[in-house]
């Protein structure tokens, strides 16, 4: 009987790979689920990484750092690291995820959702969640009126630290648990919603580290009975961090929309947030400028309180469409406070019409051949 001189389990290899951080993020490649295979035999540590990135430098960097991490383990004589780069969902024609070659519908998250769009912002306080909710209601109206085979619209609220979507859309009841431990999303104004705000007490803080956020996103995708949807909007936490990369690695995104306000501070961080999506091969579908101006309805005069032109300038710099501007309108705030989005409560008003036009532009981009 030959006794191996040295044996090693998979956990030892993974422990070493936890030192390898994904470029630009604080999370490691193990917690992001990028390690597909890891084995050790006859002194050889073999690992396969699988990632989505349009940046050609990232696979090479991760390969080098993984090799260094594995080489540091006692008993490892040779290291073999393979990197498989998957094609980004939106890298060609913004087509539906189900149309991608080699991506079996039954094996991917949310197989019955045609289009999945992330709504993001570089910083908090720009009205990202308000824009998300109003866009969802605008899409519900647009698609219901113009699509004979209308399947519905949903919102996945991934802003787990500040989940405001339930308040903004007037949803307060707890989701029901149905067969096979699936959660039934709450529905209001024809929009299906899941949010941490529906699952925890109203005043209870969510104090979680990155891995728990990633787990929540995965559960929202796989343990919620969404059914068939034409469109799902993902309300992301503000800023650039672990949740954004987790989302890009977990869900087949068709693209992202950046929400900003006109002032320079918001514009600068919005551009940084947009570049983050480029790193993970998620295309930008456009920029929305919120709180663009205060309008005097009597005279039609516009006061640009926060500056002017930040949104269009951001879109031009990022080489992505400018989808439109939304006024600083008291009725939007009242709609949010009362749980009735302005596109529902004041559908014929100027702000609702602006949001409806943005929805129409975005849908045209998503469905373009």
Q: Is 263 exposed, middle or buried (0-12, 13-18, 19+ CB in 10 A)?
A: middle
Cβ atoms of 215 and 165 within 8 Å: the answer is no
Q: Which residues pair with 183 in a beta bridge?
A: 177, 224
Superfamily holding 19-86: Fe-S cluster assembly (FSCA) (3.30.300.130)
Domain residue spans of the chain: 19-86, 97-366
Model pLDDT for residues 283-301, shown as the tens digit of each residue: 899 999 999 999 887 787 8
Q: Which CATH architecture describes the domain 97-366?
A: 3-Layer(aba) Sandwich (3.40)
Model pLDDT for residues 101-115, shown as the tens digit of each residue: 333 333 467 889 999
Same fold, 19-86 and 97-366: no
Per-residue model confidence (pLDDT) at position 96: 33
Cβ contacts of 105 within 8 Å, gap of 6 or more = 98, 111
pLDDT level of residue 144 (50, 70, 90 thresholds): very high
Q: How far is CA 117 from the centre of its chain?
A: 7
pLDDT level of residue 267 (50, 70, 90 thresholds): confident
pLDDT level of residue 265 (50, 70, 90 thresholds): confident
Q: Which residue has the higher pLDDT, 161 or 11?
A: 11
Cβ atoms of 238 and 128 within 8 Å: the answer is yes
Per-residue model confidence (pLDDT) at position 7: 55
Per-residue model confidence (pLDDT) at position 345: 94
When mean pLDDT is compared across 37-41, 77-81, 87-91, 153-157, the lowest value belongs to 87-91
Average pLDDT for 78-84 = 92
Average pLDDT, the chain: 83
When mean pLDDT is compared across 97-101, 118-122, 284-288, 338-342, the lowest value belongs to 97-101
Query: Is residue 88's pLDDT more than 60?
Result: no
Per-residue model confidence (pLDDT) at position 122: 77
Q: Is 253 exposed, middle or buried (0-12, 13-18, 19+ CB in 10 A)?
A: buried
CA distance 333 to 99: 39
Cβ contacts of 227 within 8 Å, gap of 6 or more = 112, 151, 152, 192
Residue 176 phi/psi, 5-degree rounding, is -90, 150
Query: Is residue 234's pLDDT more than 70?
Result: yes
Global pTM value: 0.74
Residue 193 phi/psi, 5-degree rounding, is -135, 135
Q: Which residue has the higher pLDDT, 197 or 285?
A: 285
Cβ atoms within 10 Å of 357's Cβ, excluding its own:
13
DSSP state of 98: G
């Amino acid at each position: 009987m030959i006794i191996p001189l040295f044996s090693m389990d998979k956990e030892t290899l993974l422990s070493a790979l936890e030192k390898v951080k994904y470029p630009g993020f604080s999370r490691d490649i193990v917690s992001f689920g990028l390690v597909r295979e890891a084995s050790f035999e006859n002194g050889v540590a073999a690992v396969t990484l699988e990632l989505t990135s349009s940046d050609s430098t990232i696979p090479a960097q991760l390969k080098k750092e993984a090799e260094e991490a594995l080489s540091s383990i006692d008993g490892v004589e040779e290291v073999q690291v393979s990197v498989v780069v998957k094609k980004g969902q939106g890298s060609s024609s913004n087509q539906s995820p189900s149309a991608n070659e080699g991506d079996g519908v039954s094996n991917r998250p949310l197989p019955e959702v045609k289009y999945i769009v992330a709504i993001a912002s570089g910083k908090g306080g720009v009205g990202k969640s308000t824009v998300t909710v109003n866009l969802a209601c605008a899409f519900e109206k647009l698609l219901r009126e113009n699509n004979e085979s209308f399947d519905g619209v949903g919102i996945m609220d991934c802003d787990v630290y500040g989940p405001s979507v339930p308040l903004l859309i007037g949803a307060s009841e707890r989701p029901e648990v149905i067969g096979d431990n699936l959660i039934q999303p709450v529905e209001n104004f024809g929009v299906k919603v899941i949010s941490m705000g529906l699952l925890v007490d109203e005043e209870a803080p969510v104090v979680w580290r990155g891995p728990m956020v990633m787990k929540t996103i995965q559960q929202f995708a796989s343990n919620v009975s969404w059914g068939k949807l034409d469109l799902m909007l993902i309300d992301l936490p503000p800023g650039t961090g672990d949740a954004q990369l987790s989302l890009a690695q977990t869900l087949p995104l068709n693209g992202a929309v950046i929400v900003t306000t006109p002032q320079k501070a918001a514009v600068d961080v919005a551009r940084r947030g947009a570049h983050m999506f480029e790193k993970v091969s998620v295309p930008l579908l456009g920029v929305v400028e919120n709180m663009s101006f205060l309008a005097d309805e009597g005279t039609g005069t516009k006061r640009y309180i926060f500056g002017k032109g930040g949104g269009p300038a951001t879109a031009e710099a990022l080489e992505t469409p400018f989808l439109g501007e939304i006024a600083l309108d008291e009725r939007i705030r009242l709609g949010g406070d009362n749980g009735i989005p302005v596109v529902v409560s004041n559908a014929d008003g100027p702000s609702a019409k602006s949001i409806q036009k943005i929805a129409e532009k975005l849908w045209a981009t998503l469905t373009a051949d």
